[in-house]
Amino acid sequence: MKSILLIGLGRFGLGVAKKLNDLNHQVMAVDSDEERVNRVLPYVTNAQIGDSRDEAFLGSLGVDNYDVCFVCIGDDFQSSLETTSLLKELGARHVVARASSAVHRKFLLSNGADEVVYPEEQLAEWAAICFTSDQIRDFVKLDGEYAIYEVAVPEEWRGRSVGQLDIRKRYGLNLLVVKEPGRSSTVVTPDTIFQPGQTVLTLGRWRDVQKCFRI
């Protein structure tokens, strides 16, 4: 369990609050809008109405005591930057800020954000990859060029083992987990034999995935 300061309770902030609640974290939620604060109350430990650009107010929250501070302000560029900068000045351990554009992301990083999430860009990339390929079922972006892809097992792999296919040597991909509808997922080993209807979680670069699965 971690202690979280969550600033900005629009749709994105509310979604983060709900998930943090599912994960049993302790959350202090903040927004200048009373209606938004009231809406989030069922999902957080505590909540306050206040202006996160006000140094005195932000300081009263003891931001250095939180494991993570989320800045989920997406519709006010200036407030997002000021809040992020103030959090770092007040000793916040780790600040994760939401960006609404590539320029916004650049400025957040230069104003003290330890990490920046850009939901629109990330969703756009996910949709572009998943909905233009019959083989890709899901996609999770990692650092740099690497990502984890859930890919339908090719017909020519069926009945063959991972060791026989030697995918890592041939394509530089790591096969992690095999999934099958209605059954528990299993970790891939050299002896794993692929069956019809399976998907495989694959770690690697997009261009290598394209070559391996003929996408």
Tell me the pLDDT tens digit for each residue of 90-144. Answer: 999 999 999 888 888 889 988 889 998 887 777 777 787 777 788 888 888 877 7
Q: How confident is the model at residue 57 (pLDDT cuts 50, 70, 90)?
A: very high
What pLDDT shows up at residue 90?
95
Half-sphere exposure of 76 (CA within 13 A, CB side): 18
This prediction has a pTM of 0.69
What pLDDT shows up at residue 122?
75
Encoding tokens for residue 155?
């017909």
Q: Both ends of the chain: CA-CA distance in Å?
A: 41
User: Which fold does the domain 3-117 belong to in CATH?
Assistant: Rossmann fold (3.40.50)
What pLDDT shows up at residue 133?
80
Task: Give the CA distances from residue 76 to residues 96, 107, 160, 207, in Å, rounded to whole numbers and listed in that order.
Answer: 16, 13, 54, 37
What pLDDT shows up at residue 125?
76
What pLDDT shows up at residue 89?
94
Q: How confident is the model at residue 6 (pLDDT cuts 50, 70, 90)?
A: very high
Helix (H) or strand (E) holding 148: strand 146-152
pLDDT in tens, 154-205: 999 999 988 888 899 899 999 999 998 877 788 988 988 998 889 999 999 9
The number of beta carbons lying within 10 Å of the beta carbon of residue 176 is 14
- In this structure, what are the phi and psi dihedrals at residue 133, rounded to the nearest 5 degrees? -135, 130
- According to CATH, where is 3.30.70.1450 located in the chain? 122-213
What pLDDT shows up at residue 28?
97
- Is 3.30.70.1450 the CATH number for 122-213? yes
Q: Which long-range contacts (CB under 8 A, 24 or more apart) does 131-140 make?
A: 133/215, 135/213, 135/215, 136/215, 137/199
Is residue 201 within 8 A of residue 140, CB to CB? The reply is no
Distance CA 45, CA 204 (A): 39
**Mean pLDDT over all residues of the chain?**
90
What pLDDT shows up at residue 2?
92
* Mean per-residue pLDDT, 68-88: 92
Q: How confident is the model at residue 82 (pLDDT cuts 50, 70, 90)?
A: very high
Is residue 72 within 8 A of residue 27, CB to CB? The reply is no
* Mean per-residue pLDDT, 36-59: 95
Distance CA 163, CA 161 (A): 5
- According to CATH, where is 3.40.50.720 located in the chain? 3-117
pLDDT in tens, 132-158: 788 888 888 877 788 899 999 999 999
- Asked whether residue 65 carries a pLDDT value surpassing 80, the answer given is yes
Distance CA 144, CA 152 (A): 24
What pLDDT shows up at residue 100?
84
Helix (H) or strand (E) holding 83: helix 77-89
Closest by alpha carbon to 88, among 71, 105, 76? 71
Give me the percent of the chain exceeding a pLDDT of 90. 55
